[in-house]
Structure 1
Amino acid sequence: MHLQFRTATPDDASQLQALVKSAYRGETSRQGWTTEADLVADDRIDVKGITAKITAPDGVVLMATDDDGALVACCEVVKRSADLAYFGLFAVDPRRQGGGLGRQVLNYTEDYCRRIWSVTKLEMNVIWTRDELISWYIRRGFRKTGKSKPFPYEELVNGAALRDDLYFDVLEKDLNTRTAASADAA
């Protein structure tokens, strides 16, 4: 599938929130492999939170649509320093997961960060229990940094965590090095 990419505007916030929630929370998320429904029972983010990310001066929310214009994936990137960007809020429609869309979005995002911001590293956070997801990122050139960040229990939206031992592993990728998986998809 050929994806079209664009930067989100505040008018997109509602549909983006619905996509993110469907990929991570609730029964719909169980159709894909990125679900966190057994870890957290909340909405992941609300429209106000998405709008804040869209309008942040140091970041963008990227949207990916299919040939029919349907929203199929999104992510957030934030420029943290001259050489580092943060990658998050990555969501692929759970009904379309497993077909290479995530890889396409990640490749586009990495290129965007190199081209627009000239950053050399991409950092992200993944809940430590998500071994399959962490392995997916490692196959795409990320590495565990050995650092962790606390889970934002106080920021949950319309729900609660189902575990009290959550935290994030910090992963990082050198954007100057292309992995075999990235080169194959290019």
Structure 2
Amino acid sequence: MSESNFYFRIATAEDTPILKQLIESAFRAEDTRQGWVGIPELASGFSIEEKQIASGVADPNTVFLIARDEHEHLLGTIGASKRGSEVARLFMLAVDPRLHRGGTGRAILDYAEQYCKREWKSRVISLDALSTRESLIAWYLRRGYRQTGETNLFPREKCKDLDLPEDLHFVELEKEV
């Protein structure tokens, strides 16, 4: 599917349930590529609360951008937050699992970067990725992001039943646009 067949809009409160379903299914999807999912047990149990999405939708400095096709089918979403006069943060890039590996994620990421640049005059876009998702980190590097050297702790308390690596963390990445 070409990017010209994508239609974007900003999510509203009514979109919260479908965003929850899309994000969870995208993050839980199995992928055979080495290092893409990271820890399968962690990915398969991923969940997000509707109130977390709703608070982002209601925040004047945050948007969830929704991608649809010409038939109004939901293709994916990404969150973006304004973090200062020239910095934006992207999060929760989620693509319908049936469309993985088809360029949809790249198109959504590109649109989000341009949205932040156009609407907020952002010059720097930041995001993070789980340290065990090596292929995803490499994908962001190919999109022009660079590792900042900063990391953030993974909230292990949310996954007490899983045997997680001690050094599990989020890798910070950024890109100048």
TM-score computed with the length of structure 1 as normaliser: 0.84
1:110 maps to which residue?
113
CA gap of 1:59–1:91, structure 2 versus 1, over 3 A, is: same
Number of residue equivalences = 170
Matches within 5 A, 1:63-78: 63-78=66-81
Q: Alignment identity in percent?
A: 35
Deviations 1:108-149 (A, max 9, x none): 111100100001000001001111000100001000010001
CA contact (8 A) 1:125 1:171 kept: yes
In 2, Cα distance between equivalents of 1:149 and 1:31: 25
Unmatched runs of 5 consecutive residues or more in structure 2: none
Q: CA deviation at 1:32?
A: 7.7
TM-score computed with the length of structure 2 as normaliser: 0.88
CA gap of 1:160–1:80, structure 2 versus 1, over 3 A, is: farther
Q: CA deviation at 1:53?
A: 1.1
2:30 maps to which residue?
30
Unmatched runs of 5 consecutive residues or more in structure 1: 176-186
1:19 maps to which residue?
22
CA gap of 1:7–1:161, structure 2 versus 1, over 3 A, is: farther
1:101 maps to which residue?
104
Deviations 1:84-128 (A, max 9, x none): 100001000111011111111111111100100001000001001
Letter in 1 for 2:116: C
CA RMSD of aligned residues (A): 1.9
